[in-house]
Structure 1
Amino acid sequence: MRHTLAVSFTLVAFHAHPDDEALLTAGTMARVAAEGHRVVLVVATTGEQGLASSDYADGLATVRTAELERSAGVLGCARVAWLGYDDSGMERPVLPRAGARPFALAPVEEAAQALAALLREEGADLLTVYDPAGGYGHPDHVQVHAVGVRAAELAGTPVVLEATVDRRLLQRVLRVVARLPGVPADFAAERFSHAYSAPADITHRVHVGAYAGQKRAAMSAHASQGSADTGVRTLAVLLRLPRPLFRVVFAREWYVERGRRPGGKPLDDVFATLRRR
């Protein structure tokens, strides 16, 4: 059993859409909260352009907002905040839409100032963002990196971790998952040959197997994103995994700390840099 630490830190997890937190940082958030630290979840958009079945055609933003609140509750978040931008969708290039403010088209300085105000208000010690390529390249994920890095500079947040995935391990897992019945072609390992991070670049490998139940519950909270009129969604496939296999697959989460030279055994403590000050 992990115990509350004598020193308490504040972690702000910055994500693009509801359900991103469940996939990339949920285990870390649950672990950090359980260890007695403050966890704040900031989301740029309500994800209204997300793929979902036609049952959610009206009011998807409202549905996804509620789903995120449930996920945050499961993970032990002390606060949820929204930047108020619109989901940009996956199309490239991102085009303006009448009456919308797509996050990917927002001026970086404008969005960073808004996030920096939250970081200052919370006295954030650590901010999580995505890697420069946005993991798999979603325009809003790329923008999270740019906005988050700039916001940390403005607010003086001392540690920034880029949430990522060990690319080599991801491809191994996908080759296993691809054998399950009904798994879509999106799970082809070759699609991720340049996504996320090479093992040599990773600075943190955080053990979160003890919180796999909370991570699974956070994923389950996003029911709309497991739905589809045709085909099978990624979230639905992951939630089909038997619980023992799910725990193995999601036993770790990975980060690249900005300014830290990779090398040696990856760290298990997201606050390692802060503890050494």
Structure 2
Amino acid sequence: MHAHPDDETLWTGGTIARYAAAGVRVTLVTCTLGEEGEVIPDELRGLDSEGADQLGGYRIGELRRACASLGVTEQRFLGGIGCWRDSGMVWQEHGKTATAAPRSHPRSLVAGDPAEQTAQLEAALREVRPQVVVTYASDGGYGHPDHVRAHELTVAATQRVPEVRRLFYAVRSVADLRAGLERLGESSDVPFPLPDAAELPAVEPDEITTSVDVAEQLPAKLAALREHRTQVRVWTGDSSGGVGTAAYALSNGIGQPVSTTEYYALGSGDEPAPSTDLFAGLNTTSERAATSEQAGSHDE
């Protein structure tokens, strides 16, 4: 459950690609078309909400291509295409966190009725019947109001659908972020200014329950990120020890590392929280074997 096109890749792209490749049914729900996004390429800036206001339609294409890169074949918009509009946000703290825009569209996600939106998500969950659901933590990751609303809707809807066995929040590890920034700092070729790890939203190790290794899925994640070219710039350096160094920047221009691990906190559901596999312990067998045949019985 994500707020805008590109969030699925930025927050959970490696995890999506990993489970999709293993035969897991992965369904992506996106709340809005991302109409209020700040456009990076000069030649496309006329698409934004202050110009032709065609960015949302353009980003549908970006999302579909990114989903293809990740192996996702089921993607839907909350309430249907165009039902809810991006609420917008403004960067604060030198472009590292976000807050609500001073004005939002009447059809924006945050202006909508939470009960109606929850019912829309509940209907999707009852249709798909996933065992595992992933969204953001209560702060939305970095403060965007649509991310916060997505969290609230997901918490409410999953409580009504008994087939959902676990709800996870995608988070960033401050230790991993620090290590990634240090690696990037050793390269003179990174085209983005790099922040201090303490300046970016991230959580301490004791808040993380599950770490998913996505090193093998890094090429798929990078390919998906590149499809979101209105919103993301991607840089890849030379490979070292078989693992490349990669970074991305949003419209704020600040560089961030692309990690080979994606981190989660168990929000609710079956315990104990799995350490490396979102589905661990949900099978009738004691451990989930990493084969397509067994993975096919899982839904996310």
Give 5+ residue unaligned stretches, structure 2. 48-53, 91-98, 248-256, 286-300
Question: Which residue of 2 is the match for residue 85 of structure 1?
Answer: 84
Task: Please give the root-mean-square deviation of Cα atoms over the aligned residues, in Å.
Answer: 2.6
CA contact (8 A) 2:109 2:146 kept: yes
Question: Which residue of 2 is the match for residue 255 of structure 1?
Answer: 264
2-structure distance, mates of 1:124, 1:252: 23
- Aligned residue identity for 2:193: P
Question: Is 2:55 the partner of 1:63?
Answer: no
- Aligned residue identity for 1:66: G
Give the alignment of 1:1-277 within 5 angstroms.
14-52=1-39, 53-56=41-44, 57-58=46-47, 59-83=54-78, 84-91=83-90, 92-98=99-105, 100-156=106-162, 157-177=164-184, 180=188, 181-184=190-193, 187-192=195-200, 195-226=201-232, 236=233, 238-242=234-238, 244-246=244-246, 249-259=258-268, 267-275=275-283
SS of residue matched to 1:136: coil
Higher helix share: 1
TM-score, length-scaled by structure 1: 0.81
Q: What displacement does 1:114 show?
A: 0.5
2-structure distance, mates of 1:183, 1:213: 21
1-structure distance, mates of 2:122, 2:21: 26
1-structure distance, mates of 2:25, 2:6: 20
Give 5+ residue unaligned stretches, structure 1. 1-13, 227-235
C-alpha spacing 1:241/1:116, structure 2 compared with 1 (3 Å): farther
Q: What displacement does 1:182 show?
A: 3.9
Q: What displacement does 1:30 show?
A: 0.8
Question: Which residue of 2 is the match for residue 3 of structure 1?
Answer: none
SS of residue matched to 2:89: coil
- Percent of residue pairs bearing the same amino acid type: 32
Q: What displacement does 1:54 show?
A: 4.7
Aligned length: 249
